[in-house]
Every structure is written in structure tokens, then in C-alpha cells.
Amino acid sequence: MLCDPWLGLANHGGWHSFPFLNAVEVAAKLDEPDLIYISHLHTDHFSPATLKTLASSRSTFLIKNFSSKRLKNQISQLGFNKIIELEAFNPTVIGNFEFTIVPQFETNTDDLCDEVGYDLDTSLVIKEISSNKVFFNAVDNPLSLNSLNEVRNFVETKLNSSIDVACMASGAASEYPQCFPEIDRRAICDNYSLTSARRYIESMQVLGAETSFLAGGRYAISGRFCPLNQFLAQPSHSLIVETYKKQGFTDQSYYYIDGGGSIDVDSKDLEIIPKEFVYWENEFENRLLNFQYEYENFGTHRENIRAINELFPLAKQNLESSLKSKDFKSFAHVSFKIHEHIFLNQLTPVLDQPCASFDLDPIGESKNSIEIHLESGALRGILDGRLVLNQVLSGSLAFQIRRPEEFDASSVFALNYFRT
């Protein structure tokens, strides 16, 4: 079984799977799986190119029974028609296994107000019936500690078991802090990485997981903005181990298997694939610099601006209609600052001379403002549907200035309705 298989680029060229792996070797080991679980639509989880390489006509896909059928339809469009839609917290038996989908309870782990409330993400509980062993794959579903406790209670009361192995993403899978030039990105990166390491440990304590490892799907920023990788707020393996020790916990149940390692659940033995399987270290940044962003071939700057002038009013009208239908109480003033070319000067993007500005009006008594600086091709792609705005943002293809400096979850998530 494969879970969210992804190799190569995602988020419209802004991310590359990490570490670099030899796709031919991976395909030789993992192709033609019986089952493939896809947690959600984001391209670092649902990767059409990877699925075409690894899946076969006999592969069965497991997804949540979402009210929106976009994920199911896109899998079908790739030519895969064996799709099982699982109901949340309803165990489904396939062979010697029970599979249970865990839905998205919250849109963020910080209990921030969100008027959108997307039903987007999922996690998966897998129970091997004969051994009664359970694996919990949290993926990057933003589950609070209370929600994780609900997962544990479900496993113990409904599956009559406990969680033997769990994996969970740790750290920021987003544009924060590397794409916010007005903040102290280095300090925030260090602080958030430590906070994430602590939360990872606390989460495993709540789950009662006997064995754990960092979930796959780790990434590196690719293309021209790859120097920003040094600000990615993701805790390293050594930081998690160090944090375990400082908190008085043993780290013997925590393993690092990125890049081809494996765990034998019965013996707890750790097998690391020979290091030549991972070959990213020596030429890391050089490899990343070679990748282009999808929007760089959409048209000339003049063509892009002309298209934006035509499409922006339509997208703005669609956004306003969506916010009105959802009875939005507050929406920030959002300004798209358009540049022909953004370059980095000692890791800081030069943003002082945008060539155009396109604004969205605030709603209610919101005092928040968000400037989104991006190149003309990126906004054109967002408006005409070739790019997804939240993947442009999280892929580090745009830079933001917020006043005040706080995350307005409702306004940012609502921007997904900003399209023609």
C-alpha cells in the first residue's frame, strides 16, 4: 500500500520532494501497489505524475467520501477506476485489514477563527486484523490535541486495540516564515521548529503511540527562490531527539526513516537502505535552481497584465458572491502587488517597485491588510484556473506583508473563492 506517493515537483513548481530520490529505483521497489490512499487534493499528496509511474490498472484507491467529488473525478481522469470512498470513522474491511478515515476537524492547530471551514484533509487508521496491530498516518491533517485524543479513544473503544505505530508531519508546510520579509525569519524559524518538535512529542504522548516517525511529504523550495530553504520551519531529526531528552522522555520509540528507511513492527528493528539511495546532499541547491515555475511560460509580462485586467473583475465578483452567500463577518483588505520579476537580494525579496496593484475590498470592521507580492504570470494563472492560489502561496512563489503581523485564517482561506 502507498500513502500519498509523491516524487518530483509540486505546488506549481515551488516545491520538490525531499530528499532527492532516484525515481527509477523507487518505481522498481514500489510500483503496481494493491492499494493507494490519497488524503487530499494538494499536489504534494495527489501527484498525477507519480501515480502514472507507480500505480496500475489493478490498484484500488482509498479516499474519503467528500461532498465534493473533485478528488474522485481527478483520479478517474487519470484512468484509475477502482476507487473506494470511505465514510469518516466507519471501519472498512479489505482483506486482512480495516481502514478508517479520520476527517479534518479543524483548519489549523492554533484554534484560530476560520469562517470557511474547508472539508479538505484526512488521516488514516489501518488495523491488521490477525495481529490487532494499528498504524495511524496523520499525514498533515491539522488535528488538535483534543482531536488526536478522539482518534486514540476510537482505536481503543471501537477497534479494541491501541496505536502501535504513528507518523505525523512536523513543522510548517507553508509559506511562513520564509515568505514574510518584514519579520525576523531566522528567529521565527528556530522558535517554530522547536515548538513543532515539542508538539510532535506531545502528540505522540496523547496518541499513546508505541513507535513513531516523521510523516513523509517533506519538501524543499525549488527554483529561483530555493535559497529560502534555510528559513523552512521544520524540526530536524536531531532537534526532535534533543527535545525528547530535554523533556525527560526516551527517544527509543522515535525513528528517522526519510529517504528509504523501514521499520519492522514486530521486532522494532530499524533497517536503513544503503546511503547511495539518497544522493541529494552534495548538489542540493544546484539541483533545485534548475527547476522552473509553471507560470514562467504563460506569456510575456505585457500579455499577463492584459489578461489580469480582463479576469480580475470577474474573480473579484465571484469572491464577493461567495463571501455574501456564506455570510462572512470579516474579510481583510487584500492587495495583489504585481511584479515583472522578483529577485532576492541577500535572501530578501526586492518588493519596493511593483508595476501594478489589484485590490480586494475589506468586509465588516476588519482592520487587517495583506499585501501579496507575486509575478504577473502567477496571478494570471490563479485567475484563469491554471494555478491554485493556496498552492502558489504555500509553494513560496509569492511574498506577503501583513498588518498587523498575524494570521487571518478566514481571509486567507476565503481567497480560494477568488477565481473566474
What's the confidence (pLDDT) of residue 37?
98
- pLDDT bracket for residue 145 (50, 70, 90): very high
The DSSP secondary structure of 301-355, one letter per residue, reads HHHHHHHHHHHHHHHHHHHHHHHHHTT-S-B-EEEEEEES---EETTEE--S--S
- Closest by alpha carbon to 109, among 169, 68, 38, 175? 169
280 has a pLDDT exceeding 50:
no
- Tell me, what amino acid is at 292? Q
What would the grid cell of residue 204 be?
505522540
Phi, psi of 154 (to 5 degrees): -60, -45
Task: Encode pLDDT of 106-117 as tens digits.
Answer: 865 665 565 565
41 has a pLDDT exceeding 80:
yes
Task: Encode pLDDT of 359-388 as tens digits.
Answer: 999 998 888 999 999 999 999 999 999 999
- Average the pLDDT over 27-49 and give the result: 92
- CA angle 204-136-63, nearest 5°? 140
- Average the pLDDT over 263-280 and give the result: 58
What's the confidence (pLDDT) of residue 15?
95
What's the confidence (pLDDT) of residue 276?
40
Phi, psi of 28 (to 5 degrees): -65, -30
The answer for residues whose C-beta is within 8 angstroms of residue 133's C-beta and 6 or more apart is 127, 161, 164, 165, 265
Range name among 57-66, 89-98, 104-113 with the lowest pLDDT average: 104-113
Rounded alpha-carbon distances, angstroms, from residue 343 to 13, 228, 358: 17, 12, 21
What's the confidence (pLDDT) of residue 265?
78
142 has a pLDDT exceeding 70:
yes
350 has a pLDDT exceeding 50:
yes
- pLDDT bracket for residue 252 (50, 70, 90): low
310 has a pLDDT exceeding 50:
yes
What's the confidence (pLDDT) of residue 106?
80
Specify the DSSP class assigned to residue 53: H
What's the confidence (pLDDT) of residue 271?
59
282 has a pLDDT exceeding 50:
yes
What's the confidence (pLDDT) of residue 108?
59
Range name among 13-27, 104-118, 329-343 with the lowest pLDDT average: 104-118
Residue ranges, CATH 3.30.1050.10, the chain: 295-417
Specify the DSSP class assigned to residue 363: B
As a whole-number percent, the residues of the chain with pLDDT over 90 amount to 71
| Mean pLDDT (the chain, rounded) | 90
- Tell me, what amino acid is at 40? H
The answer for residues whose C-beta is within 8 angstroms of residue 137's C-beta and 6 or more apart is 3, 37, 123, 124, 125, 126, 166, 167, 215
- pLDDT bracket for residue 392 (50, 70, 90): very high
What's the confidence (pLDDT) of residue 172?
82
The answer for residues whose C-beta is within 8 angstroms of residue 186's C-beta and 6 or more apart is 231
As a whole-number percent, the residues of the chain with pLDDT over 70 amount to 92
What would the grid cell of residue 94 be?
479489505
- Tell me, what amino acid is at 176? Y
- pLDDT bracket for residue 275 (50, 70, 90): very low
Range name among 21-25, 157-161, 186-190, 292-296 with the lowest pLDDT average: 21-25
The answer for residues whose C-beta is within 8 angstroms of residue 187's C-beta and 6 or more apart is none
77 has a pLDDT exceeding 90:
yes
Rounded alpha-carbon distances, angstroms, from residue 149 to 88, 153, 156, 171, 307: 16, 6, 11, 20, 49
- Tell me, what amino acid is at 355? C
**Secondary structure class of 186 (helix, strand, coil):** helix
358 has a pLDDT exceeding 80:
yes
- CATH superfamily of this structure's domain 295-417: SCP2 sterol-binding domain (3.30.1050.10)
- pLDDT bracket for residue 46 (50, 70, 90): very high
Report how far Cα 257 is from the mean position of its chain's Cα atoms.
19
What's the confidence (pLDDT) of residue 263?
83
- pLDDT bracket for residue 259 (50, 70, 90): confident
Q: Who wins on pLDDT, 79 or 272? A: 79
